Structure 1
Amino acid sequence: MIHLKSIQFNITDSLYRYPYSLPWVKNIKSLLLNNEVTILCGDNGCGKSTLMNLMASSLNLYRINSGDLSSEPLKEASKSIKPLYSVAKAHGFFFEAEAFITYLHFLEKEKNEALNELKRVESDYANRSDYAKMMAKVPHQKSIHELDNLYEYDITKRSHGEAYLDFFASRLKPNQIYLLDEPETPLSSQNQLTLLAMIKDAVQNNCQFIIATHSPIIMAYPDALLYQVSDKGIDKIAYQDIESISLLKQFLNAPEQFIRHL
């Protein structure tokens, strides 16, 4: 189901600061999103992540981090974006791969701190009663229990890729919209295929996805609407016309032709 039909842009700034300085900003008035899966591709630094952040803020989607933009110019620019919905405002989630890895490290840190506190209690309460020691341990044991049961599996004990997929699965609900920024970052090629299967299942449950990626695997999602973000603007593009895909095909067909020039 297509919840979000398009995004209208009216971004202007006389100071020409970030994100207004990005080339595509001055060349865009609207972005059609009339597909269950829309994919943004483009070189590093072209502004894909900025666009994703602006859309996520405009749509008021949940985030892994604090839930708001850290940059004042981004906050201001997001107010100039108008989402056009098919029926009613959609709810959803914004997944940033880098933010997820930071979140994973935060969980690991919290758990380690709780474990260290248990060791400290053992030492500090060595000459106290068992009851006193037990009561001192309770808040730290509670923290560990809560961290261990946040998800179906303890994601801090899994690889980043497995943890990402577990976390992603835990957030999937019918009739939602999801923005994924470079989801391939923690994922192996096999796990990227698993992610595509999860996206396909979610689409069948009336979900819509907008994805920014460099991954040729993710870009190949069947019947996805592909946009290339560049200095010229944001334009539709066919999979086979994406420069990185063409280069990858050439390399795989004759790697020795590239390697010999190193």
Structure 2
Amino acid sequence: MAGNEAGGTWTAPLPVRRVERSPYAALPDDQWPLTIPAVGQVMREGLDLGAATILVGENGMGKSTLIEAVAMAYGLSQEGGSTGARHSTRETESALHQDLRLVRGAGASRWGYFLRAETMHGLFSYLEDHPSGSGADPSGRRSEPDFHRLSHGESFIGMLQTRRFDGEGFFVMDEPEAGLSFSAQLSLVASLAEAVAEPGRQVLVATHSPIVASLPGARILQLDETGIHETAWEDLDVVDHYRRYLDGPERYLRHLFG
């Protein structure tokens, strides 16, 4: 039984208990992306994951770099998709995934799915061209919405309601709030909370949204120019900024317009 899962004690092991440097790692410490403080810290110290882990931080702090590398090390497509998927249009990812070792829970599910906002359109086209698997019934006919006919927000929430996200597995999301309204972000949080309430399900999310970061029971990690810091939701920089802005937008706007 895994011992440090966020949100409670589970009867099934987590798919990924820890992320650490592979003994066969080849990237030098003075080469990008290891020069990003958060990435360098993971390579030096490793990173323990709970049932729900949220990465928060400004652009350029390494959230997407780490999320992408962990997903690929698990066997997920860099542009989104399931374990073993081969969906790829242009290779722009770093080689970091090759230098990572994932410590898996003994007997845990090896299923997973990766969703990233910036490549959702391409993923939906790929699924449309390859309707077999969880997107189709045994006859090969489509058994899910035509995602291209939905708004970005509707398609994202609709994806979470397919069979791909049923059962145990490792579910990775990069900035899932993109294109989601306030209420849709709340629906996303509800879906994630429902997912990790079941033994053997695990989520790893990178976000700029204080709403998504409020996922109950999640371990929240703030990435900045000094590395990775476990942080309470109410102490996050993004939460503080949103509160201050909503309380008095002019205090921010006057710096933009002089």
- State TM-score, norm by structure 2: 0.76
Which residue number corresponds to residue 202 of structure 1?
Answer: 195
CA displacement at 1:238 relative to structure 2: 1.2
Is 1:87 aligned to 2:106, yes or no? yes
Q: Is the 8 A contact 1:94 1:178 kept in 2?
A: yes
User: What's the Cα RMSD here?
Assistant: 2.6
Is 1:156 aligned to 2:186, yes or no? no
Is 1:97 aligned to 2:117, yes or no? yes
Which residue number corresponds to residue 8 of structure 1?
Answer: 20
Which residue number corresponds to residue 122 of structure 1?
Answer: none
In 2: Cα distance, 1:66 partner to 1:192 partner:
29
Which residue number corresponds to residue 126 of structure 1?
Answer: none
Gaps of 5+ in 1: 111-148
CA displacement at 1:154 relative to structure 2: 2.1
Deviations 1:80-110 (A, max 9, x none): 21111222353211111111133346789x8
Q: Which amino acid aligns with 1:193?
A: L
CA displacement at 1:182 relative to structure 2: 0.3
CA displacement at 1:61 relative to structure 2: 2.7
In 2: Cα distance, 1:236 partner to 1:58 partner:
23
Q: After the TM superposition, which of the residue ranges 6-15 and 246-255 deviates more from structure 2?
A: 6-15
Superposition map of 1:154-233 within 5 A: 154-170=146-162, 171-206=164-199, 207-233=201-227
The alignment covers a number of residue pairs equal to: 221
Q: Is the 8 A contact 1:107 1:156 kept in 2?
A: no
- Relative contact order (alpha carbons < 8 A, sep ≥ 6): 1 or 2 greater? 1
Q: Name the SS of the counterpart of 1:180 in structure 2.
A: strand
CA displacement at 1:167 relative to structure 2: 1.7
Q: Which amino acid aligns with 1:24?
A: A
Q: Is the 8 A contact 2:54 2:221 kept in 1?
A: yes
Distance 1:15 1:193, change over 3 A: closer
Q: Which amino acid aligns with 1:152?
A: E
Matched-pair identity in %? 29
CA displacement at 1:36 relative to structure 2: 1.7
Q: Name the SS of the counterpart of 1:7 in structure 2.
A: strand
Gaps of 5+ in 2: 1-9, 130-140
Deviations 1:47-96 (A, max 9, x none): 1111011101111135337446924742xx32221111222353211111
Q: After the TM superposition, which of the residue ranges 218-227 and 56-65 deviates more from structure 2?
A: 56-65
Q: Is the 8 A contact 1:27 1:232 kept in 2?
A: no
Distance 1:174 1:105, change over 3 A: closer
CA displacement at 1:216 relative to structure 2: 0.8
Q: Which amino acid aligns with 1:184?
A: E
Q: Is the 8 A contact 2:87 2:123 kept in 1?
A: no
Which residue number corresponds to residue 18 of structure 1?
Answer: 32
Q: Name the SS of the counterpart of 1:40 in structure 2.
A: strand
| Structure with greater helix share of residues | 1
State which structure, 1 or 2, has the greater radius of gyration over its C-alpha atoms.
1
